[in-house]
Amino acid sequence: MTKKRTTKPKPVMIATLQDLVNTVTPENMKLLYEDLGIWLVSMTAMKAAGMELGEVAMEWTDDGKNEITGMHITMTHPKS
């Protein structure tokens, strides 16, 4: 009996609303919505702590799990 090969889903970088629109499907919308909320809470906490955020992005894998597979954050220097 031959085993079926399953390919692991690749992470998607979501840095813009267009990236988000390109990533969402009717099947993954609930998980993506929940994970986006988790990511936004993290970004809000960083801002509330006084961190100056530059460019930010969320790495997300459509694997059926509620998790963010990576965050990419560029910090800016505070203005004097």
Q: Residue 72 phi/psi, 5° resolution?
A: -115, 120
Structure confidence by residue, pLDDT tens digits, 44-61: 999 999 999 999 999 999
What pTM was estimated for this model as a whole? 0.79
Contact 12, 60 (CB under 8 A): yes
Structure confidence by residue, pLDDT tens digits, 3-46: 665 788 899 999 999 999 999 999 999 999 999 999 999 999 99
Provide the β-strand partners of residue 60: 12
Q: Residue 16 phi/psi, 5° resolution?
A: -135, 165
Rounded CA separation 8/15 (Å): 22
Q: Which residue has the tokens 């894998």?
A: 61
